Chains A and B, each alone.
Chain A
Amino acid sequence: MAPKSAAYDVGMERHLDPGIRLVWVVSSLLMALIPVAGVAVAAIFGAPTWVTASLAAFSALALVAAVLGPFARYRRWSYQLTDHDLLVKRGVLTRIHRRIPRTRVQYVDIQQGPVERYLGLHTLIVYTAGAGLRAVAVPGLPDGVAEMLRSELLAWETESPETT
């Protein structure tokens, strides 16, 4: 459940909403349909057996990865808003930690895809002035949390540095 207090709970490492796994599974299954379609085409046009077989094996792998991948990703995904920055940790094989200093946040977008809309999830996109407008996206935020995170991230300007 999203905290109901007005101020966002700063300093706690948080995981994404578990529903994000479904969002990821759906999108990666859509990608996995490409090799599956390849198998169908190969079967229809009577490609050599070894071609169809290897395509089928690859499709099976892609389907398994499409279902299991999001679970592994979910386990490794976390974010943490601290007094001075937003820390995002992600990556299954290659682990990436990224810190965006709060004062470097240029603007913040909130996005919602169709599956996310169905599940009531949001993606927060934070832009810095890094060359080429670098962004960091935090997906899987329940209703309210994304907005709260956004106002918290944009709040530094009104705070005087002494109060922190």
Chain B
Amino acid sequence: MSPLPGPDDPGRLHPATLLLAPIRQLGAWAVPLVIALVAGSRSSEGLGGFGLVLLVLAVTFVGQLVRWLRLRWWVEDGAVHLRTGLLQVENRTVPIDRIHNVDVVEPLFARVLGMAELRIESAGSSGADLSLSYVAADAAQAIRDALTASAGASDELEEEPPETTVLVRTPTSELLVAGATSNRIGALAIAAGAAVGFLIDSGIDPEGVLDSAWDLVLLAPWVAGISIAVAAVVIGWVVSIAQSVLRFNDFTLELVGDEAHRSHGLLTKSSGRIPLGRVQAVAVTQPLLRRWLGRSTIVAETAGSVAAGVDAGTGTVSPIEHDARVPELVSTMLRRAGTGNERLQPVSRLAIRRGFVRAWVPLAAIGVAGAIWLSTWWLGLPLGAAPLAWWWSHRRWVAIGYRLEDDLLVCRSGVLLRRRWFIPTAKVQAAGTRATPFQRRLGLADLLVESAAKGAATVRVIDVEADEADSLAERLSLVSADTAFRTDAV
């Protein structure tokens, strides 16, 4: 029996969905509810507040009931149909052969009630996606199997199940490393630094601060500031590590035939499938700390609507991976033989000059302005910053690289957050160049490559020699035009 409901017998959501929204509301209202109850024991107005909370819950429940009663979904003529709404009826249709990805997500509460959310992503705008929250957990798996089977291999005969290879299994220790090395630490450090500066520079309104603590701040502002900064970093670190473990606990990626199956999560369990033919680009990302530790994050982008990034988790190939295994995983995801780890071509050395000018000129302007209006010592700023700006723009130049092969474009950039894009030339949607007046003076141009992947909508290789950029764009366009006769181009 097919798990997909037909037009005569449309499917509904799981009845327990009705309970979930009021439970969520109850969670949100817990604090006012408790206050109302405590106050209610003393006065009659408090009871009124309690009644109000009950009313909100009731309204939520009725709203959910109407949604549940009106929602129908079914499969007809090779497409998934969804109809919702009481006054304004919305019909949504997603052709099955356009489905790129089917995710099953099980948030904690839903899991307790034996339910899961089914997310169906397809190519095209975000309106082309469809979510069923919630259906029975085992039904969700079966629906996904049925949808992906008819999406991928409708013309193939039923054979023995394809062999399964485990590509990635991330141990918890690695997830701790991932959390500890995510770039949020950098942001938090900056925030903490700002907090220190704020504390030292300004007289803070002492109201609301414990007297003893304030005395300490007055006595030793540096000590207090630094301890606050350290505390912020430590807390941020712990939160980041916890998030990483919660999201990617037990991360497993398996290769099943021509699909990558992914599952992970501690409280909210998430699993999804990436048809390899639908991969538009693969991104290998390294925040600075992770690069020092020889680890990378790998994300495969499909043309679905979910934006890039590990946070969404949708296309994650590996949340954290030893650099040595990266080439193998990238080539598996792109279904190609090459390792994808050959040397990249550097861009013009004039890029260093441009980077330096861009970093240094604002500082020089501040220095000159300071020297005119404040003190001559301000001239020290551009002088002192010059070597630093040069070093920075040199690092930036070293990071930039590209290589164009017949079937693959590789681009790399970024100092603090280094990212490598692997874009199959068959998935390139448009290519071009862009040159500002400054670049033209130096005979440089940016190479622009557009793809259908959200995170790689436009990938730039900056400061390539202008002729080279033009011929690269032309070659990309030519290769893309020639390979697009395949049906899996998007």
Binding site for B on A (CB under 8 A): 84-85, 87, 91, 93-104, 128-134, 136, 161
Q: Is A131's CB under 8 angstroms from B481's CB?
A: no
Sample of 18 A–B contacts (CB below 8 Å): A93-B437, A95-B433, A97-B432, A98-B430, A98-B431, A99-B432, A100-B477, A101-B429, A101-B480, A101-B481, A102-B481, A103-B482, A104-B428, A130-B451, A130-B457, A131-B457, A132-B125, A134-B430
Taking CB atoms, residues of chain A closer than 8 Å to B478 are 84-85, 101
**Given A84-B477, A85-B481: A104 touches B429 (CB 8 Å cut-off):** yes
Chain B 14-49 interface mask (CB, 8 Å, partner A; 1/0):
000000000000000000000000000000000000
Give the Cβ gap from A86 to chain B, nearest Cβ, in Å: 9
Q: Is A99's CB under 8 angstroms from B434's CB?
A: no
Scoring B440, B445, B452 by chain A CB atoms within 10 A of each residue's CB, the highest score goes to B452
Those of B132-151 within 8 Å (CB) of chain A = none
Give the Cβ gap from B458 to chain A, nearest Cβ, in Å: 8
Binding site for A on B (CB under 8 A): 123, 125, 303, 428-437, 440, 445, 448, 450-454, 456-457, 470, 473-474, 476-478, 480-482, 484-485, 489-490
A18 to B454, CA, bound (A): 37
Q: Is A101's CB under 8 angstroms from B477's CB?
A: yes
Give the Cβ gap from A25 to chain B, nearest Cβ, in Å: 24
Give the Cβ gap from A26 to chain B, nearest Cβ, in Å: 28
**Given A95-B435, A101-B430, A134-B429: A84 touches B453 (CB 8 Å cut-off):** no
A102 to B470, CA, bound (A): 18
A131 to B123, CA, bound (A): 9
Q: Is B431's CB under 8 angstroms from A99's CB?
A: yes
A161 to B433, CA, bound (A): 27
Taking CB atoms, residues of chain A closer than 8 Å to B453 are 131
Taking CB atoms, residues of chain A closer than 8 Å to B489 are 103-104
Taking CB atoms, residues of chain B closer than 8 Å to A103 are 480-482, 484-485, 489
Taking CB atoms, residues of chain A closer than 8 Å to B448 are 98
Partner of A128 from the list B123, B430, B454 (CB cut-off 8 Å) is: B430
Q: Is B452's CB under 8 angstroms from A131's CB?
A: yes
Q: Is A133's CB under 8 angstroms from B451's CB?
A: no
Q: Is A129's CB under 8 angstroms from B303's CB?
A: yes
Give the Cβ gap from A155 to chain B, nearest Cβ, in Å: 13
**Given A130-B430, A131-B454: A97 touches B480 (CB 8 Å cut-off):** no
A133 to B303, CA, bound (A): 11
Give the Cβ gap from B235 to chain A, nearest Cβ, in Å: 36
**Given A128-B450, A132-B457: A96 touches B436 (CB 8 Å cut-off):** no
Give the Cβ gap from A130 to chain B, nearest Cβ, in Å: 4
Closest-by-CB residue of A relative to B483 is A103
List the 10 closest pairs (A to B, CB-CB), nearest first: A103-B484, A101-B481, A98-B432, A131-B457, A84-B481, A99-B477, A130-B429, A101-B480, A128-B429, A130-B450
Closest-by-CB residue of B relative to A83 is B481
A103 to B428, CA, bound (A): 11
